[in-house]
Amino acid sequence: MRVSVLDQSPVSAGATSADALRNSLDLARFADRLGYDRYWVAEHHGTSMLACASPEALIGPVGAVTSRIRVGAGGVMLPHYSPLKVAETFSMLSGLFPNRIDLGLGRAAGTDPMTAYALQRDRRQPAPDDFPQQLAELLGYLHDTLPAGHRFARLSHLPGSPARPTPWLLGSSAQSGVWAAEVGLPYAFADFINPNGAAIARRYRDTFQPSATQPVPRVIVSCWALCADTDEEAERIAASARMGFVQFLQGQPGPIPPVDTAVRFLRDNPGATAALGQHRRWTVGTPAPVREQLEAIAHAYGADELMVVTITHDHATRRRSYELLADAFELTPAYDGRELAAQPAH
């Protein structure tokens, strides 16, 4: 089972967004040494909870501080952008880091409607809902397959050629799986958003149409998980993310709270705590049972790979969680043990 990292660049209370971005670079170096397969960074806008609004701006630095791990966007929210601009940007990244760049593509806004509108270049009217057309144009640039008569056909020579990123379609609903199967793309499903996606992944595999670049279906399932040395410690550390998600559901997202604050909040708000299980799958505990639960999820999805997202208030505990998980999955490390023991900068 391949295991990878999805980093949402969480901002901790008492720290800055710049600290969160530097923590992302530190975690990427760490994941590279631990033997994780890929490291994807997310796109979120207009929030003080998550720092990365521009995956392409973070991918370059992540690529520069790592040597082996695949690096990518999880993902680029395509409705905000010109397909040509995305193709050129990720072509350049692929030229700089050959055979290491993934381009995860999503349809969601990654933010609220007002912020999505502010991201538009032309604000005379809402942007059209034309994701399939955007996707087809983008793939045409990446694979140099735009028809000769297409008005943009001459633009297929990209700046990072001959290197190309590997495109993935991301999703948390049935429609994304339909599109991924139709155009022959590998598919990454966000179980941490919708824990009911196993049937969607099954339909994707059953209806997959082979493409020139992807002859067989391929599924990543992305899950939320947290490991610690004891169950009690894991549950306590997870309180920060749980409180953060409650605030998100209440329309008041903010920095990830300290553990003691979160423990008190969840104790004093039992209704909010009970609602958490209806919206998220929380895989929390010591390494062996966490691995068992994650493997069960992967089996239900028929997934080829697990991608794990972890949010904590303290960066060192997030590092420790990924370290324990790497040991549990017996990943092949690519590091000097003395180097690994060094404390993170932030």
Please count the other Cβ atoms lying within 10 Å of the Cβ belonging to residue 322.
23
pTM (2 decimals)?
Answer: 0.93
Of 189, 156, 185, 196, residue with least CA distance to 172:
189
Amino acid at 321: S
Residue 122 is predicted with a pLDDT of 81
State percent of the chain over pLDDT 70: 95
What are the residues whose beta carbons fall under 8 Å from the beta carbon of 128, sequence distance 6 or more? none
Residue 316 is predicted with a pLDDT of 98
Q: How far is the C-alpha of 333 from the C-alpha of 326, rounded, in Å? A: 8
Would you say residue 336 has pLDDT above 60? Answer: no
Is the distance from CB of 34 to CB of 331 less than 8 angstroms? Answer: yes
Residue 90 is predicted with a pLDDT of 98
Residue 343 is predicted with a pLDDT of 47
- Band (pLDDT 50/70/90 cuts) for residue 116 is confident
Q: What is the CA radius of gyration of the chain?
A: 20
Mean pLDDT of the chain: 93
Amino acid at 329: F
Q: How far is the C-alpha of 30 from the C-alpha of 68, rounded, in Å? A: 12
In tens, the pLDDT along 100-114 reads: 999 999 998 777 788
Q: Worst-scoring range by mean pLDDT, 194-208, 246-260, 298-312?
A: 246-260
In tens, the pLDDT along 9-56 reads: 999 999 999 999 999 999 999 999 999 999 999 999 999 999 999 999
Backbone angles phi, psi at 10, to 5 degrees: -65, 140
Residue 155 is predicted with a pLDDT of 86
In tens, the pLDDT along 59-95 reads: 999 999 999 999 999 999 999 999 999 999 999 999 9
State percent of the chain over pLDDT 90: 80
Q: How far is the C-alpha of 95 from the C-alpha of 89, rounded, in Å? A: 10
Overall fold of domain 2-227+282-340: TIM Barrel (3.20.20)
Give the largest Cα separation in the chain, rounded.
64
In tens, the pLDDT along 119-162 reads: 888 888 877 889 999 999 999 999 999 988 888 988 888 999 99
